Amino acid sequence: MFLRSSAIGLVLLAATAAQAADFKWASTTDPQTLDPHAVNSAPVLGFLNNVYEGLVRRNQDMAVEPALAVSWEPIGDGEGWRFNLREGVTFHDGSDFTAEDVLFSYERASNEVADTNSWFAPVKEVKIVDDYTIDILTHGPNPIFPGSIANWMIMDSGWAEANAAALPDKDNGNYATLNANGTGAFRVTAREPGLRTVLEPFEGWWDDATHNITQAEFTPIQNPATAVAALLSGDVDMINPVPIQDAARLKESDEVEIIQGIEARVIMLGFPHEAEALKYGGDAGQPNPFKDVRVRQAVAHAINVPAILATIMRGNAEEASQLVSPAMSGYSAAHADRRAFDVDKAKALLDEAGYANGFSFGLKCPNDRYLNDEAVCQAVVSMLAQIGITAELDAMPVRNYWPELREDNYDMYLLGWSPGTFDAEHPIRFLVTTPNPDKKLGSWNFGGFSNARVDELLPLIQAELDAGKRQAMLDEVTQIIQDEQTYVPLYVQPLVWGTRNNVALTQRPDNFFILRWVNVN
Amino acid sequence: MSDLTQKPAPAPSRPSRLAQMWDSDFAYAFRHSPVAIVALLVVLVLFLAALFAPWIAPHNPFDPATLNLMNGFTPPGQPNAFTQDTFLLGTDDQGRDVFSTILYGMRISLFVGISAVLLAMIIGVILGLVAAYVGGWVETLIMRVADVQLTFPAILVAMLIFGIAKGFTPPEYRNQMAIWVLIVAIALSDWVQFARVVRGAALVEKNKEYVQAARLIGRGSFPIMFRHILPNVLSPVLVISTISLALAIIAEATLSFLGVGAPPTQPSLGTLIRIGQGFLFSGEWWILFFPAVTLLALALSVNLLGDWLRDALNPKLR
């Protein structure tokens, strides 16, 4: 009996040795959907970059490189771009990749029900030239277009139509929410939302695999301390993020490594610009004070960002003055100062606006999306209390959070924005221009901020080829955003990943975790 | 009562009420049980500390205007690096004094615990009495429901009720309602104990002569149940409610720990432990340690008191 069981033990041991490249990783947020066009958020796009591919992709240094397109060139005098597609590429289910799928994915991703449709605001038309050539015509010259579609993932038209998923459904979900069929390096073999997602390498991938993973399993772990414990015990090989407070201690451990960088993500507070009345707190139903620019400025003066960075972020983040971090192109160096922390000034502004006795409202906050998001919101509550305005905090998981914001259920909210194009134009297009579903603009401008000059400048910025003139226009928009206090930018979020020390990987500043760069030794 | 006050004060032959109590079996058992004495002392100290929290606590942690974020993560008894302020048990991530938050958090824990037990007791006693007295299909129905509920863990039932209630409350009232929903959820998961014990005791009582006598002179069912039977089944109820209090406090802490209980701006002990758990690996042990020790002391001493009460009131063990 004893002999037999030890023999089984040996077999098991041998089995684990053979699967040495099994890789497990954990993150706070489960990708809400496997549909690459349903939700435009980093956890979804980052995860699906392992499964689906775009015409172009970003490499380890964020530079654009060919993926499903082998090359591209401008058409005529800024009329658009011609993409020459890769031949011999197959989807996970074996069907061939052709220009048909690109056109289908364009129609799917740019449809008004798709969350990604604002990516295609500059696009006029998509035309198939032949099976492996496609023209994307733009409204005007668009020099940054190829770089702006790295996250536009191509879906198989036949598969989507056969499974009644020709359009994304972000609210109710459909077949593509739970299943995936891309051309990427990994295919999804099991998907249990909120529990685990299993990926296996796709044998028929067109590119050479540089990883040594045989199976990868993703588990969402909402509690950061639990995630750290799982990493330390070896239950998972990688966690993202490492709680900022634990980074210093984990660095001392021999078994794990901390990989740290500055993320492109700016954390900010958003306001309702259109709502007539407050919705929460003691003053629910009263006129919305945040329509007054002085109240918004008072909020900006009331937030002691250095204190948040020193305590909650443990000195691992940088103050933000605008909607992009200094590392992004188009950052406005002329507007690098944020409103100083000044309680008296904040009170004076409130007084001027007629709110000397303060008011009460509701602050919405995610509790599993950004580093220490709930703690930051609590700190905001106590800082606002010091200028006499009472915020009632409602923190919730991100899967409930976006729907609440989309339904305008907030009086103030916390948002983090990472420009997918690594350019200052991106947040203007999504967060600042007047929401316009037809033109696919302002899709994340929940508060409905509207400024005619910004709306006028955006297309000019998009079409401008001269870097100096472009920067001047970006500076002007930044000035408007700061004066109007459209948002209160707080800080640039740090990027802290933790791995077992036998794992080699690449950390990209957009916080995308790309499995094909992982090697388990 | 009246003859006592009319008589001249020193009455050597008849000891006073207090002295009578002091000499009773019950008090004798108490005096000779060091565990019970210590447990009662701990419970009393914690109850009083919670009751008088606004006067004892150095500041009100629920008033965000008084917090200074720069005081965050101050170790116990040491001055803060930026503000030089010192805190007896240190501060948490928001710069809240841990000692004050524990006092205020204990208020919420005890309030929720006691209210939940009272509610559970009322529901359980009524249903248990009715089941025993009425009998028939009413008894079967009540006791089978109780049996079915017993097969689920209490915390699961509480979470279920909490989840459903949260779904039905409009979002703007959720924070205010959280505490009440918590009370109802814990009470509804706990009434079964009371119902079963009361039914068992009442089944014995209902066939005794005094009940038959009361029936004979034509008293109604309700007076018989609540005036005659109830007082005679109260001592097991007392034992159960003490033990239930400890369970209710732990249930509240568990729910809050899981993030479905008290809101973070109004932390109970469980919420404090949840917050502190995030700093376990980073060296700020005091944020977790002190609330956890307080919860342990509270639940343990209430439980020990309940155990002792059960033994003291059980004639078989005397």
Give the bridge partners for B137, in sequence order: none
Query: Tell me, what's the pLDDT at B172?
Result: 62
- Please, which pLDDT band fits residue B317 given cuts at 50, 70 and 90? low
Question: Residue A317 pLDDT > 90, yes or no?
Answer: no
CB A352 within 8 A of CB A297: no
Query: Tell me, what's the pLDDT at B297?
Result: 94
Average pLDDT for A509-519: 91
Question: Residue B164 pLDDT > 80, yes or no?
Answer: yes
CA distances (Å), origin A425, targets A82, A340, A477: 23, 25, 10
Sign, CA dihedral A136-A446-A343-B90, equals negative
Average pLDDT for A209-222: 92
State the maximum Cα–Cα separation within chain B, in Å, rounded to a whole number.
80
Question: Residue A11 pLDDT > 70, yes or no?
Answer: no
Query: Tell me, what's the pLDDT at B286?
Result: 92
CB A298 within 8 A of CB A349: yes
B67: closest chain A residue by CA? A382
pTM of the model: 0.78
Interface test with B, best of A222, A256, A364, A378 (most B CBs within 10 A): A378
Of the candidates A308, A394, A409, the beta carbon closest to that of B69 is on A308
A278: closest chain B residue by CA? B172
Interface test with A, best of B62, B282, B286, B287 (most A CBs within 10 A): B282
Average pLDDT for A187-204: 94
Q: Give per-residue pLDDT as tens, A478-501.
A: 999 999 999 999 999 988 999 999
Are A385 and B73 within 8 A, CB to CB? no
CB A440 within 8 A of CB A477: no
Question: Residue A8 pLDDT > 50, yes or no?
Answer: no
Q: Does B75 touch chain A (CB under 8 A)?
A: no
DSSP 3-state of A192: strand
Q: Give per-residue pLDDT as tens, A16-61.
A: 443 457 999 999 889 989 999 998 888 899 999 999 999 999 998 8
Q: How far apart are the CA of B133 and the nearest CA of chain A, in angstroms?
A: 48
For A389-411, give the secondary structure using H, E and C. CEEEEEEECHHHHHHHHHCCCCC
Are A385 and B65 within 8 A, CB to CB? yes
Query: Tell me, what's the pLDDT at B8?
Result: 54
Vertex A110: Cα angle to A105 and A116 (nearest 5): 100
DSSP 3-state of B282: coil
Q: What percent of chain A has pLDDT over 90?
A: 67
Of the candidates B69, B172, B284, the beta carbon closest to that of A304 is on B69
Q: Give per-residue pLDDT as tens, A260-272.
A: 887 789 999 999 9
Average pLDDT for B220-229: 88
Query: Tell me, what's the pLDDT at B315?
Result: 67
Of the candidates B67, B72, B264, the beta carbon closest to that of A393 is on B264
Q: Looking at beta carbons, which residues of chain A come within 8 Å of B279?
A: 225, 245
Q: Which two tokens stand for residue A305?
A: 């960002």
Average pLDDT for A434-449: 89
Q: Give per-residue pLDDT as tens, A294-308.
A: 999 999 999 999 999
Are A378 and B265 within 8 A, CB to CB? yes
Of the candidates A232, A249, A409, the beta carbon closest to that of B171 is on A409
Average pLDDT for A100-129: 91
Are B282 and A243 within 8 A, CB to CB? yes
Query: Tell me, what's the pLDDT at A87?
Result: 94
DSSP 3-state of B221: helix
Of the candidates A249, A375, A386, the beta carbon closest to that of B93 is on A375
Query: Tell me, what's the pLDDT at B95?
Result: 87
Q: What percent of chain B has pLDDT over 70?
A: 92
Are A311 and B93 within 8 A, CB to CB? yes
CB atoms closer than 10 angstroms to residue A391: 26
Query: Tell me, what's the pLDDT at A17?
Result: 40
- Please, which pLDDT band fits residue B162 given cuts at 50, 70 and 90? confident
Query: Tell me, what's the pLDDT at A16?
Result: 41
Query: Tell me, what's the pLDDT at B14?
Result: 67
- Mean residue pLDDT of chain A comes to 90
Q: Which of residues 234-273 of B touch A (CB under 8 A)?
A: 259, 263-265
Question: Residue A430 pLDDT > 50, yes or no?
Answer: yes
Helix ranges, A19-144 (H): 42-48, 99-110
Query: Tell me, what's the pLDDT at A206?
Result: 94
Query: Tell me, what's the pLDDT at B6?
Result: 54
Are B70 and A409 within 8 A, CB to CB? no
Query: Tell me, what's the pLDDT at B9?
Result: 52
Distance CA B210, CA A287 (A): 68
- Please, which pLDDT band fits residue A3 given cuts at 50, 70 and 90? very low
Q: Give per-residue pLDDT as tens, A340-359.
A: 999 999 999 999 999 999 99
Distance CA A129, CA A118 (A): 25
Average pLDDT for A312-326: 90
Q: Tally the C-alpha atoms within 13 A of residue B235's C-alpha that lie toward its C-beta.
A: 10
Query: Tell me, what's the pLDDT at B195?
Result: 93
Interface test with B, best of A222, A245, A313, A350 (most B CBs within 10 A): A245
Are A246 and B63 within 8 A, CB to CB? no
Distance CA B34, CA B78 (A): 36
Q: Give per-residue pLDDT as tens, A65-79.
A: 999 999 999 998 888
Distance CA A404, CA B72 (A): 31
Q: Looking at beta carbons, which residues of chain A come within 8 Å of B259?
A: 367
- Mean residue pLDDT of chain B comes to 85
Are A225 and B277 within 8 A, CB to CB? yes
Is pLDDT larger for residue B311 or for residue A452? A452
Q: Give per-residue pLDDT as tens, A89-107.
A: 999 999 999 999 999 999 9
Q: Give per-residue pLDDT as tens, B106-135.
A: 999 999 999 999 999 999 999 999 999 888
CB B295 within 8 A of CB B141: no
Query: Tell me, what's the pLDDT at A490?
Result: 96
Alpha carbon A432 to chain centroid distance?
Answer: 17
Of the listed ranges A203-207, A285-289, A397-401, B14-18, the one predicted with least confidence: B14-18
Distance CA B254, CA B241 (A): 19
Q: Give per-residue pLDDT as tens, B74-83.
A: 889 888 878 8
Q: Does B283 touch chain A (CB under 8 A)?
A: yes
Question: Residue B7 pLDDT > 60, yes or no?
Answer: no
Dihedral angle over CA of B148, B153, B157, B159, nearest 10: -170
Are B281 and A223 within 8 A, CB to CB? no
Distance CA A373, CA A362 (A): 16
Question: Residue A216 pLDDT > 90, yes or no?
Answer: yes
Omega of the bond leading into A241 within 30 degrees of 0 (cis): yes
